[in-house]
Structure 1
């Protein structure tokens, strides 16, 4: 069976569940003509078809295009088989409920470093590199520093990009081992530690006093109070507070105690948790522990997850791009991205070269994301790569284009690939 994507533009590939939709097939090359023969089209749903039944679909021809009409049940993948003369082709589409149909899948990295902390490259280089590998958004999150993310934003502020760079930082509360990502906050939390240390100490002490009623005199009580203060400040800054790499191992032990991790989950003081991520191959075992612990503690509750690289370099053989987040959002604006993650419309992706890609999150989003990775993102990523090259030339002062065609291409791609209700 030959994949039809090699020969045709197929749109949309995402349709409404339990409704009729029309799929258009248009040859990619002007010289390729659909033969004047009978065209037969059959359809088989993947998840809700234990008997592997094939239903005949109606097909119409208009010049050199085919229009296939079908009723696509439930949220699932559907395989479409086409007989054109003596050639057999196939392709897949996916049907989703209305809440997903109104959302766009955006790929992003919410935790990454530059040479302003312990990374290797400049903020603008990191941002351009993220776009080149197919990401739609990034937050620069250097250790203890907020300004590198603003530098990256300012570098490209005059370009009309389809790529978003958001403010960010990795937060390190005083006398607290926990690492926290401030994603998208309007001000720096680290700067508050320096500028308002007395106020910070007083307010953390007040939080700890309240915790004395339920938590004994252990170091984790202060650490929890400090963490509560930090996450509250991130929300005050209208950002997303992310619990970083819970099972990151430093030499003999984990960087935070299991008692602190238990309290963080029990109080649910964070907005999202890094379910997969890491800069070293040795962190694969940490990811495994994070996933097991998270699903044991969540017990069906919506505790949002993200995937991040925590990368400290985009080249030199690093693991850059191995992990990322897919957010199903109403738009690429920061407010919508944050709200979508909080509502549970995000998954963490592990894409290690040479291994099968794995996705972590709710089952419906995992199934849909696996389809997107196979059927949609490869085209999306090629367009992103061109815009990333465009950004790189601009960063080096060598951008000669007056118009960024790539944003238009990506907008048109998404508008064609996902069928909204009329």
Structure 2
């Protein structure tokens, strides 16, 4: 069976992930993401109403026109998890393929939400839910297995394509977390088994983030303890406390809610994405949020903020959007004094998120923090642990799987070169069994 990997998107940037794996005459697409940093360069852009070709030219979504050069039919579109850089382009691109979206239940619900807002294209691809540990048949010789992993969002998986030539493991956006706050630990035993099976692992497509750095990523349990320590230190403070984190990071939000209640404050979630992700997680019984207000529409948010100001900021802990300094997000509007919630001298602002590296994010976050400090707030940045592997864990994954070839993704060429350097320490060789692709490039693994 001829097996070919095509880099469609995410091989020159952090964002707009999309990879095609051809297995003889059948093709599987992994991820269809959006690059928000490219879209934010343009003011007042409404992506829901835009044509896919305009977004491609803007650099906001993968240029999937390369797919016309692949000789095969797409049989499945498989997003690894529900972050926008992995599902955000599905409304714009999926309709071109006569194939189902196959995803874990939480990711599938987020895909449904994503396509509901689409105004330019129709969407009639079936959405098939599949749990971690289950297998889907692609044809008589090929299956795809969902292996449970941990990331900063529920429902993350590493899809493994089983072929007669060996397995192809798509390992983007994961961490080796043995003590997660939500969900099961990463299935290390299964990954090791896959590496020891008779056919072995033909190829690993890993993310390259942190490959050039030493050390391991701490467990989400560590972030929980950091938040516990910080918020309990504010227990006797009688002013305002505001926290922000990734709206999709349900485990982190769960910790914030717990500690807000422990210090006798009522938590409220403010922002459209906060309401969306947490609402879905609660409806799916992934978490329980008893007596927690969720407000996503502007009027309901403003009413909630007025109630907080009337009843006393010391009684509440708002958890809001805006950890990257996004101009229209709640914390940024609070920093600009554009909401009923008033930032006052001594108020505590907790950023339980790091900046996603890009000049736009860094500039926006710096400006938001500066405005908050100018109003007298005390800012506590980076109360956070990453959802991605550290350098040592990249070594672990290679050791467990023993792939014949590696094709690093999900980063710029310079960062992916660091992965190649690491792999060469383990006797891989650039151009022979370690491949540095750019968007639009392909590599044939077997002929």
What TM-score, normalized by structure 1, do the two folds share? 0.27
Q: Could you say which structure has the greater relative contact order, defined with CA pairs below 8 angstroms and 6 or more residues apart?
A: 2
Structure ID, larger Rg? 1
More strand by share: 1
What TM-score, normalized by structure 2, do the two folds share? 0.26
